Structure 1
């Protein structure tokens, strides 16, 4: 667990330090509550001023801790893959929460930036399952993922372009490993993960439009998009850990 924690902590600290410089001053990020359909509640503390969209971040932490502390019959390498992904979820939650609480540029940049290496870890884990991953490959892919946020500096929609490429690559690798090693159980997890990803994107984009309907006026589309994101994380864990178990059975 110490190695996995170090793997996540070092780039986390570097990114936090860079985000607090002038490097990302031109990156397009939303820094007002008007970006969200949920209304703020004035009498609540600043860290839960937008209660539903704030408190959903606790679900990321609980889900991450569940998978971090889950005891599996696994090798040291299997455990490392799982723990890195779990720490990513745990670390991501307070970044999102801080963004809503303080509405500052640095946490807004980090909220976008950390999304990319999280998605990139899925192909890394899949390559490991398929017996093709090395530490050099994992380092290269994660580094390229982190550097790809540079597109947001150069282009107004650079982050969206980088994120779209990450999502498509993760789905492609998921389908590839499913066709090669998967079964009915992993197929179900893959479909649920992809549907959750679609829900995350669509509900977030339609946040304000959905708010015209009373059912989405307090518990808004953005909140439900975060629920889908947590489910996307969870079903990705289910898919990847089950595939890992399958490969061990094949070897045995």
Structure 2
């Protein structure tokens, strides 16, 4: 667990430092409450200015802690436990990143919020690579290279206004493609169910976030807005992705 913690916190700390430099001044990010459908509550402190969109971040922490402390079974290899713990820490640390962005509305937290999304999706690719190769064929440097490429892909945001969306879309498509491939090769009905829930949650995350302002015309989306529900979908996406990958890891270990 300590190894997983260090491998998440050190790169995150480096990204935090880099976002403070002027390199990302050209990145297109939203820095006003007008971007969100939820109305700001003026008498509340900044970290609760939009209560629902702020407090929903607690779900990331709860989900991360659940998977971090979840007991292991005999079928889970040591490397699989490490992969699960890294994913759990990523979920835990994403909460304060998103929360800080909403509280201060400054460029650095907004850039960091976008940036750290990419290696979280890339970790799915890393884990599937371990499942396909097995413990004997998997190397730590495979994960390091893939995560580094994911982090560097944020450079697209410097080249074009929609560069981040392009990078994120590629990450999502690759994760779904690799998930389908490993499901067809090693999966069963249980892993298929988890995979489908993860994909549906991903679709909800994207669609509800894009429709945040249009949905606010309807009363049911004026307090619990599209952005709020997109974050709920994001949390369920993380949960079912870990379910899928954990079960798949145990299955492949047994068959091997």
Name the counterpart of 1:125: 127
Rounded to whole Å, the distance in 1 between the matches of 2:139 and 2:174 is 18
What displacement does 1:36 show?
0.2
Name the counterpart of 1:157: 162
Structure 2 SS opposite 1:225: helix
Q: Which stretch shows the higher mean deviation, 210-219 or 68-77?
A: 68-77
Rounded to whole Å, the distance in 2 between the matches of 1:134 and 1:31 is 41
Where structure 1 has 5 or more consecutive residues not aligned to the other structure, the ranges are none
1:109 aligns with 2:111: yes
What displacement does 1:240 show?
0.3
1:136 aligns with 2:138: no
- Which of 79, 84, 103 is the matching residue for 2:86? 84
What displacement does 1:133 show?
3.3
What displacement does 1:194 show?
0.3
Name the counterpart of 1:248: 253
Structure 2 SS opposite 1:130: helix
Equivalent residues in 2 for 1:160-199 (5 A)?
Answer: 160-199=165-204
Name the counterpart of 2:229: 224
What displacement does 1:75 show?
2.4
What displacement does 1:22 show?
0.5
Deviations 1:65-97 (A, max 9, x none): 100111112322111100111110011110000
What displacement does 1:245 show?
1.1
Rounded to whole Å, the distance in 1 between the matches of 2:97 and 2:198 is 23
Work out whether residues 124 and 133 of structure 1, in 8 Å CA contact, stay in contact via their aligned partners in 2.
no
What displacement does 1:112 show?
0.2
What displacement does 1:163 show?
0.1
What displacement does 1:218 show?
1.0
Rounded to whole Å, the distance in 2 between the matches of 1:105 and 1:87 is 24
Name the counterpart of 1:212: 217
Rounded to whole Å, the distance in 2 between the matches of 1:5 and 1:72 is 18
Structure 2 SS opposite 1:28: coil
Structure 1 SS opposite 2:252: helix
Rounded to whole Å, the distance in 1 between the matches of 2:208 and 2:115 is 20
Structure 1 SS opposite 2:29: coil
Rounded to whole Å, the distance in 2 between the matches of 1:43 and 1:69 is 37
What displacement does 1:10 show?
1.1
Rounded to whole Å, the distance in 2 between the matches of 1:238 and 1:211 is 33
Work out whether residues 117 and 142 of structure 1, in 8 Å CA contact, stay in contact via their aligned partners in 2.
yes
Work out whether residues 87 and 123 of structure 2, in 8 Å CA contact, stay in contact via their aligned partners in 1.
yes
1:45 aligns with 2:45: yes
How many residues of Structure 1 are paired with residues of Structure 2 in the alignment?
251
Work out whether residues 101 and 110 of structure 2, in 8 Å CA contact, stay in contact via their aligned partners in 1.
yes
Structure 2 SS opposite 1:31: coil
Where structure 2 has 5 or more consecutive residues not aligned to the other structure, the ranges are none
